[in-house]
Every structure is written in C-alpha cells, then in structure tokens.
Amino acid sequence: MNPRIRAAIMAKYVDAKPIEYPAQSNVAFNGKVLICPHGIGIASLAHALRGQGVHATSCSFYNDVYSYLSDLCLNMNMHPVRVRKLIRDAFLEEAIQTYDTFHFRFGGTLFSDKRDLKLLAKRGKKLVVHHSGDEVRLLPVARSYNNPYVRRREAWPDERIRENLKLLTSCVDQVIVNDHELLPHVEPHYKKVHVVPYAIDTRALAPHYPPPSDYPLVVHASSHRNVKGTEFVLEAVERLQAEGKKFEFKLVEKMPHAKALELYRESSIIIDQLTVGTYANLSMEAMAMGKPVICYVRDDLRGVFPADLPIVSANPDTIYDVLKDLLGRPADWMRLGMQGRKFVERHHDPDRVARMLIDVYRGL
C-alpha cells in the first residue's frame, strides 16, 4: 500500500490518543510492543510498560465498552466490510513497520484464520498470546478440575476454542495467563507458559473503607449474567430481604464505568463472579477501593494464590449463607477492605507486572 494512502486511512478512521513514549528505552528490553486486540487490561499493561521505559502501545480493533481506554482504536465494527479491509490492511502494514513484539490477548488477531501471525513470524516478529478466560476455558477440562459450577459465554463453544488454539499455536509457542486456574487449559498446547497477574493502578482508585452500617449497600456487577452467576446472587438477595435482613442491593449492568465506580465507592460489600473459580478485574477494583469482596475462588487454588488473599469465597450453592454471614459481621468490613487494598498494592502493582512482562518479551 502506498505510504500516503496508508497514512490517510489511519488518519481518517483510527482514533489515536497522544502517547508519551519513554525518552530512553529500557536497558533490559528496547523493543517496541503492540498489545491488542481488545479488553480492559491492554491499556493498563501498555501504560505500565511505558512507565518501565518500554515503547508500548495498546490497540482496540473494535469500538466497544473498553476501547476508550486504549491508545489506538481501529473502529472496524463501525464501518462496512470494504472499509474494514482497508483499515485492517493499513494498520497491519503500519504495525509491521513500527513494532517488533506483538502481544495478542483473548485469542484474537487481525484475521479470524490467523494468517497475520504467519506474516509476522516470517518478518521475524516476536509473538506471544495472552489468554484470560472464556476464549480458552474448555468446559470438560474445567469440570475435571473441581469446578462443577463453570460456565462460559455462548460465543466460545469448545469446538471454536480448539480450532482457535490450533491456529494460534501453529505460529506461537509461548503463552501468558493471569493465574493458575487456566494452566490445565493451555499447558497441553503451548511449549512455555508464563503466569503474570493482572495489573491495576491503585493510585487512580482511592480507598473508601466501609464503616459498620444498619443499612449497608451490596453491589453486584454483571458483565455477563450466566458467567457471573447473577441469578444465584439475585435469589440470595431476595431470600435474605424476605427474611427481614436490612440492606440495599444494586445490580450494575450496562452502566458507564464512572457511574459504576460511584456505586462501588458507596458500597459496603461487592459481589463478583460465582462460577469461574478465580477473580479478575471487578474483584481487583473492589479491593483497591477498600471493599470486602465475595467471589468464587476454588479451594484447590487457594494454595497457589498469595496467602494474604482476602476474598470471601462463595459459589452458587453457598452465596446465600456467605452473604448472610458477611452482612452479620459489620465489624469485619473495614478490616477486609484494608486487607484487600494492601493485597492489590502488593501483588497487582503495575510496575511489578510490567517487569514480569519484560522478562517474557526478552525470552521470546
């Protein structure tokens, strides 16, 4: 593609934020990194890497609920197929000329058949896949690892997962996962697995530790009701309120992130997912804000997480009893909130996570 045409396409269709790249490259790793194609975590990882002296950029291929966080957004879903192809081709050429390390999250690349991976590999680019959940979590495997509650988004049936893994591993032999829950899903497919925890910038989330209250606010945020186990939360809430337990409940769905954060700040207890067996972004935000968190953490995984993990575990069978018990212990709310804040500061610090990623990139 003619460079002028490519530049014109990028300027017309791609949203780009001003990015302050480090003036001096990291001594241990001076490559240029692209993290894509979507998700709440890509922007925080790129920002953390830049803080460590790495030229890193986050790019969302589609305009969605999290794309506003990214450094670049291709907006491909906002245009007809012909225009999408122009954007994709222009960006791929631009990326090949700009970056030497490609960090793909959630099992996606620019092409559904992953032919861009073959092109990047031929050009000598370093490639790593970063799996985070449904796009690699096979139900039979999850159930065989002590999780009878596991659920998954309908968009990722087992057949699609297996085919996607086959395409990814034809060109990529190293993978990143956020914790040990996904290990049995990726270890049979990739030659090398790196466990790198989620990153959260606690400086952007001031803690609001909940004092004892006669009428506390309980919040449950559901990005996907089936996966989150929302119906079990609603049943437990309805049952407790029918029994006369005094508390306010709010369900967060399809709400702007800023407004959701306001509710989290006001809350006494936050309930996350009940079916997966591990925690993710909502639990981390809640802990950063100093709130007690209820989330299903599999018993067999407790030993591989840091010992100071303060999450109160509940699954669909136990959410009623766990919520009732925690509501009855208002004196513990602030203590759990303070423990959660310290936990994410210690184990999900962006600088620490960025240094771990740099080690991964150096070994590609």
Closest CA to 314 of 330, 325, 328, 303: 325
Assess whether 224 and 237 both reside in one domain. yes
Report CA 167 to chain centroid distance, whole Å.
22
pLDDT value for 47 = 94
Q: Which two tokens stand for residue 86?
A: 């122009």
| C-beta of residue 283 within 8 angstroms of C-beta of residue 295 | yes
Report CA 183 to chain centroid distance, whole Å.
16
Q: In what order do the strands lie in the sheet with 269-271?
A: 248-252, 217-221, 269-271, 293-294
Least confident window among 18-32, 88-102, 260-274, 300-314:
18-32
- What residues make up the domain containing 18? 3-199+349-362
- Total domains in the chain come to 2
Assess whether 322 and 358 both reside in one domain. no
Cis peptide before 306 (omega within 30 of 0): no
pLDDT band at 222 (very low <50, low <70, confident <90, very high): confident
Assess whether 172 and 230 both reside in one domain. no
Q: Does 146 score more than 90 pLDDT?
A: no
Q: Which helix (H) or strand (E) holds 73?
A: strand 72-73
Q: Does 128 score more than 90 pLDDT?
A: yes
Structure confidence by residue, pLDDT tens digits, 259-306: 999 999 999 999 999 999 999 999 999 999 999 999 999 999 999 999
**Identity at 53, one-letter amino acid code:** G
DSSP letter string, 195-238: E------GGGS---PPPP-SS-EEEEE-SSHHHHTHHHHHHHHH
pLDDT band at 202 (very low <50, low <70, confident <90, very high): very high
d(CA 334, CA 211): 6
d(CA 93, CA 1): 8
* Measured torsion, CA atoms of residues 52, 56, 62, 67, in degrees rounded to the nearest 10: 30
Assess whether 158 and 229 both reside in one domain. no
Q: Which two tokens stand for residue 144?
A: 């065989």
Q: How many CB atoms lie within 10 A of CB 191?
A: 10
Structure confidence by residue, pLDDT tens digits, 172-199: 999 999 999 999 999 999 999 999 999 9
Assess whether 188 and 274 both reside in one domain. no
Assess whether 26 and 159 both reside in one domain. yes
Global pTM value = 0.93
pLDDT value for 231 = 96
Assess whether 304 and 358 both reside in one domain. no
pLDDT band at 3 (very low <50, low <70, confident <90, very high): confident
Assess whether 233 and 324 both reside in one domain. yes
What is the β-pairing status of strands 293-294 and 32-36? Answer: unpaired
Q: In what order do the strands lie in the sheet with 32-36?
A: 15-16, 72-73, 55-60, 32-36, 101-105, 126-131, 174-177, 192-195
Average model confidence (pLDDT) across the chain:
94
Q: Does 106 score more than 80 pLDDT?
A: yes
CATH number, domain of 302, equals 3.40.50.2000
Report CA 23 to chain centroid distance, whole Å.
29
Structure confidence by residue, pLDDT tens digits, 227-255: 899 999 999 999 999 999 999 999 999 88
Assess whether 131 and 169 both reside in one domain. yes
pLDDT value for 24 = 82
| Beta-ladder partners of 227 | none
pLDDT value for 186 = 97
| C-beta of residue 358 within 8 angstroms of C-beta of residue 28 | yes
Assess whether 190 and 214 both reside in one domain. no
Assess whether 37 and 134 both reside in one domain. yes
Q: Does 158 score more than 90 pLDDT?
A: yes
pLDDT value for 39 = 82
Assess whether 107 and 228 both reside in one domain. no
Q: Does 65 score more than 80 pLDDT?
A: no
d(CA 88, CA 83): 9
Please tell me whether residue 34 adopts helix, strand or coil conformation. Answer: strand
**CA distances to 152, 184, 213, 214, 267 from 338, in Å:** 32, 33, 17, 21, 14
